[in-house]
Structure formats: structure tokens, C-alpha cells
Structure 1
């Protein structure tokens, strides 16, 4: 019996060894982990070369195109974290998280998903053959070409396909926007802005990972983390050159001031902040001091009011959909602006700011807008809406 037991034990050990050999031989985890570690080391060297501005070291890791395109970008950090590797023949495809910080602007890292193609040379070394955004991820500006950088007094402008002189125009607009926003909102924000200027509408849409049709006619948008804390990366103002180019001087300044307002108010904006308030407030700051009348700033809403189509209520978030009816979108923005303008006129500018912040503070509880209206404006949503409708009739009717 003892001998028989030893035979069974030996068979069990042999089976386990056989299973391990089969797993490794079939490309199981140990083999993949080895490739992944090699790829990680290549990307670590590539990242170090970017930060050291060492074109030779970067080229030694593979395709040198990326360095040429982004070398002008002032970077405080740049690193990759490999998350998956798919070997195949003499090559491999790797998924990685790219994290970077723009010097002087990003307090926390921007993290984006990337896909890299790699080849193995005759000596068995891995080299990067190409890098692109991961599926369903937006491009980075350097994916579109060589980045030109212009530093303003309060801004950093990054552009593709444009001269430094052209980009300085955007820096001037942003530099004027920052103090205008601080005068209205206050100085408790970064007081600087990053502006991205792609070649075209298609380039803008690619940065946002969306169809171009979603942003046709939209001069600029701002991306960022709502309620961003101390370690959040800086917002990016992304310009649509096609729409921006048809604006006059005042319109261009209004747009950059509007987007800069989103940067300033980001920490006090959350999911409970309705778009009529966030967009309306940004428009209010943008138009502040321009002397534009309601007739000039709200033509679509005026047309509706004079045609007997007074809005039933404040604009809903759905009214702000970029891919929808252009006239409806214009009325939504104009409706938000007139509501904020009414608050500033009838309650005062300080109460407008306080109301915005109060909505953000109530954000984690139901009824954020109603609660802020009651605590700051001393009114109800129903009464406020009725007063806004009368205001539209008086100003635009």
C-alpha cells in the first residue's frame, strides 16, 4: 500500500509539471509578462529621452517622429505604464497609459490611453514603430503635427499648422480674458489658461474624440474635471479655427473670456450645476463691459419672443446639445445669459456669484438649484422662472 501511494503522488506531481509546461509553451502569462517588462523598459527610456530633450536617445527606442512633434511643449512630467501586450510574429501591440504634465500649468497629470506598435530587431531588441490614441480616445495635439508654442503673460498657446505670430493673437485674447474673469469672479483660481489651436474643425473634433458635426459652428470648448481638486490637471480651451475665424474682434474676445470663465469656475461646478447657469454665467462674464444689448446678444431668443414663442421654462441641459438644431442651441445659450443678466441686475453681481457657488455647494444633495435660489436669492424656482419670462418680454418683446 505504501508503494502504491508513492506512485500516485509522483503521478500528481508529473501532471502538475506537464500543465505548467503546456501553459508556458502556449504563450501563457509568464511569457507575456516577460515581453511586457521588456516593452515597459523601452518606454521608460523613451519617456526619459523626452524629458531630457535627447533626440538621439529617443531615436534609439524607435520611430523619432513623436519627439520632433512635441519637443517644443514645456513638459514637467512624461511617463508610460504598460497595461497589456499582444505579441504576434516579430512584433507586438501594447496598450499603455500615458501620463504627462505641462510645466507651470498642470498641477496633476493628464492621463490618456495609447496604443503602441513595436517590432523586434535582429538582436532581439524591441523598438517602437508607432504610437496613436487608443480606440475611442481623443488625439493629443502632437498626433496632428509639429506643435508650435507661444507663451503669453497669463497663457500658454499650443498650435499645429500655424505660425508663432498667428498664435500670439490667441495669447493676447487669453491674456485679456484672465483679468476680466478675475474682476468678475474673483482671484481664487489659477489665473492662467492653456489654449489649443488645431488646424481645423476636424482637428478640434479629433482632440475631443467626437464627430466634427458635433462642433460645427462652435467657436471653442473647454475640457476639464468638474469640481477639480488641488491635483487636477489644468483645463484646455480648444479652439475651432473654422468658426473662430469668422468672428469679429469683439466676438473673439467674448469667446475666449467665456471659455476662461469655465476654467475659473471649474472647482465650483459639478453635475448639479445646470448648463443654463454654467453657460449663462460664462456668457455673462464674456459680454460684461462690452456694451452689447439683449437685442444684439440674443437675436434668436428675441425672434422667438416677438413671434409669440415665449419659453415655457429655463433651458434644459438637453437644449445645449451641439449636434441638434442650431437655432435651439442659440436660444439655450441666450436664455442662460438673460437669466444670469437678470440676477446681476435685480439681485446684484455679488448675489449672482454667490448663487453659482451655492449651487455647487448643494451639489451632493437633491434640489441644488432650488436650495440655492431659496438661500441666496430668497425665491423659488417657479417664481424665478416667471420673473425671467417677464424679463424676456420686457427686454426682447
Structure 2
């Protein structure tokens, strides 16, 4: 009996020791992970500082210098890494990292990008061996090659695999777009744009994190958060060089002016803003002053009206989705353009701007257009639609 008691006590002591060991090991593991994360953070802090200082030697001391060479021409006002997680396998580490960077003279706030950074340990030091986009995260221009930079009077053009002459042509178009937008839009905006010109449609899609089929036939898009203002990063106009290259001189200018309009109106474009207004307004600014006749600007809508197919209502948001029917999509954009043109001609350009702001300032989609039409234009959506339909018949019948 006594021996059995000693056996029980011995087992209890053994279990207690085992539990203590597990607890200590757990704490040790957590401490090791925290220490590893801190080590990786220090390496990336040195790497970021060297990049901003244009210190090639200091950057190379932290690992591969491929990234340094690829952004050598990019004007950077900020570049920071924040390690959010680490996983160690032997002498290698994989880190989840949030990169935030700012372009000098263009970004009041930092643009974010999720990255996966791999490091290897040699001679007691961690060094970066690879820095790539995180799974499912969009690529950045320097992930696709060395970034070429052209500075315009009102623009910064970043290109990969493009000639200097081609990028200067984009800068020239953007520099003409900025004053054209300023002449139309009476709101405050930075009056400068960032244009990114990748190698191809596929490369454009990588930058936007979507399938290439989403942008087939679309010459350019503008990225950015609607309603963003203050310290938000500048919007990026991302060009589809394949579709853009098919346009004539006027078409290229219209596209850049259209996208620049989205940059200018971003802070006043919100969830309450219908696409017929945001896209129609951007087209109205784009074609303003070109001298193009309505039937030239809106050929698909003109054809439909001439055939007796006057739209029953202003374009819905779903009409702006590319579903394979290019004519239907064209009619949606043309419908928005004609509606905004009608407001500018009948109520005045100042009222058009005020209407745009009033809709965007509404807290929700329901009632936004009706409320803005009543307060700014003195009409109702039903009355406006009838007036718009009559306008289409007059223009295109």
C-alpha cells in the first residue's frame, strides 16, 4: 500500500513536470516567434531605409537587390514594411508583410500592398531572398520589370517595357487632360495624375488583380476609393495599351480626360452615385470642347433612337457591366453622356457640378438622385426622364 502511494505521488510529480515543460515550451515557442518576427522587421526596416536613401550597398546587405534596381527611377516619399506573421522552416523564413508607399508630390496618404517575403539565414544574419505579391494580391509595377518614369507638368507616368517616346506621349495627353478637367469641374482637387502603362492587357489585369477578360476592349481604368479625400493616396490611371493603341488622337485624349475626371471627382463620388452620372459626367468632360457632334459621340444610341428604340429609363448600374454585348455597353455610356449634356445645356454647367456633388453627398442610394434633382434642378426623376427622352428624339431621330 505504501509502495502504491509512492507510485501515485511519483506519477503526479512526473505529470506536473510534464505540464510545466509543455507550458514553458509554449512560452518559449511564443517568445521565439516574437523574436524572429522582430528580427525580420529589423531587416526590412533597414531595407526600406536603404531604398529611400538610394543606398545600393546598404540595400544589398539586406539581401537581393532586384527590387532596388526596378524602382530606382520612381520618386518615393515613403516606403515601409510591417511584418504581420512569420513561419520558419529550418534556415528559411516566410513572412507576411504589409508594404505601404507614397509617391513624391502625388500621394498625401500611403498606398498599401500585401507581400510575401522570404528570407534565409547565413553567417548569423537574415537576408531577403524573394519579395513577391501575397497570394491573390495584385502585382505592383516593379513586379513586372524595371519601372520607367516620365514626369509631365501635371502628371507622373510609370511604364514597364515601354519606350521613352511612348511614355512622353502619355504624359502629354495627361497634361492636357488636367486643365481640361479643371475648366469643367469647379471642385477642389490635386490637379495632377499618376498614369501607369504596363506591357499588355494581361499585365494590366495583374496590376488590378482581376482576369484579363474583365478589361478586354477597355482602354483605361481608374483605381481609387470612392469618397476618398484628405490623406488618401492618389488614384492611378491604369492603361490597357492594346485597346488604347487602337484609338485615334481624339479618342486617346478623351480617354485620358475621362479617367482624369474620375480622379478629380473621387471625393464627391460615393455609394449614392449611379454609374450613369459618374460615367456620363466623365464622358461629358472628356468630349467637352472636342467639337464632336452628338451622333459621333453616341452612335449606338443614335442608331437605336432612329429605329424607334428610345430607352425606357436612364441606364442602370448593371448596364455598365461588360457581358459580351459591346453595343449595349456603349449605349449605357452614351445614355449617361446625353443625360449630363442635357443638364449642362438646359440648367448650366455649374448646376451639373452642383447636382453631381449633391448626389454623392447623400447618405444612401435610395432617394439620392430624386433629392438632388428636386433641390438643384427643380425637377423630379420622372420629369427628367421624359425630358431626356424628348432630347434624344430631337438629337437622333
Cα offsets for 1:200-244 (capped at 9, x unmatched): 111111110001110011111111121112111001111111011
Moved more, 112-121 or 196-205: 112-121
Whether 1:80 aligns to 2:81 is yes
CA distance in 1, matches of 2:323, 2:194: 26
CA distance in 2, matches of 1:175, 1:102: 18
CA distance in 2, matches of 1:229, 1:246: 34
C-alpha RMSD over aligned residues? 2.0
Partner of 1:298: 298
Residue 147 of structure 1: how far off its partner (Å): 0.6
Partner of 2:265: 265
* Alignment equivalent of 1:19, drawn from 12, 19, 22: 22
Cα offsets for 1:9-61 (capped at 9, x unmatched): 98896455222234257xx4222222111111111111011101011111111
Residue 187 of structure 1: how far off its partner (Å): 5.7
Partner of 2:332: 332
Residue 181 of structure 1: how far off its partner (Å): 0.6
Cα offsets for 1:236-269 (capped at 9, x unmatched): 1111110111111111111111011111101111
CA distance in 2, matches of 1:246, 1:138: 26
Partner of 1:144: 144
Do the aligned residues in 1 keep the contact of 2:235 with 2:263 (CA within 8 Å)?
Answer: yes
Do the aligned residues in 2 keep the contact of 1:108 with 1:231 (CA within 8 Å)?
Answer: yes
Partner of 1:61: 62
Residue 172 of structure 1: how far off its partner (Å): 0.6
Do the aligned residues in 1 keep the contact of 2:52 with 2:79 (CA within 8 Å)?
Answer: yes
Partner of 1:130: 130
Cα offsets for 1:56-111 (capped at 9, x unmatched): 11111111111110111000000000001111122121111000000001000001
Do the aligned residues in 2 keep the contact of 1:213 with 1:323 (CA within 8 Å)?
Answer: no
* Residues 323, 119 of structure 1: alpha-carbon distance in 2 compared, 3 angstrom cutoff: farther
* SS of match in other structure, 2:260: helix
Structure 1, unpaired ranges of 5+: none
CA distance in 2, matches of 1:131, 1:281: 41
* SS of match in other structure, 2:354: helix
Do the aligned residues in 2 keep the contact of 1:214 with 1:323 (CA within 8 Å)?
Answer: no
Residue 365 of structure 1: how far off its partner (Å): 7.0
Partner of 2:3: none
Partner of 2:350: 350
CA distance in 1, matches of 2:364, 2:87: 42
Do the aligned residues in 2 keep the contact of 1:280 with 1:338 (CA within 8 Å)?
Answer: yes
Whether 1:190 aligns to 2:190 is yes
Structure 2, unpaired ranges of 5+: 1-5
Partner of 1:280: 280
Residue 185 of structure 1: how far off its partner (Å): 0.5
Whether 1:71 aligns to 2:72 is yes
Partner of 1:45: 46
Do the aligned residues in 2 keep the contact of 1:81 with 1:96 (CA within 8 Å)?
Answer: yes
Residue 130 of structure 1: how far off its partner (Å): 1.0
Partner of 2:119: 118
Partner of 1:105: 106
CA distance in 1, matches of 2:323, 2:94: 35
Do the aligned residues in 1 keep the contact of 2:280 with 2:340 (CA within 8 Å)?
Answer: yes
* SS of match in other structure, 1:61: coil
Residue 363 of structure 1: how far off its partner (Å): 3.3
Superposition TM-score, scaled by structure 2 size: 0.94
Whether 1:387 aligns to 2:367 is no
CA distance in 1, matches of 2:201, 2:322: 14
CA distance in 2, matches of 1:221, 1:24: 50
Do the aligned residues in 1 keep the contact of 2:270 with 2:361 (CA within 8 Å)?
Answer: no
CA distance in 2, matches of 1:386, 1:187: 29
Do the aligned residues in 1 keep the contact of 2:298 with 2:334 (CA within 8 Å)?
Answer: yes
* SS of match in other structure, 1:267: helix
CA distance in 1, matches of 2:54, 2:323: 42
Cα offsets for 1:296-346 (capped at 9, x unmatched): 011111222223322221111111113542222111111100110111111
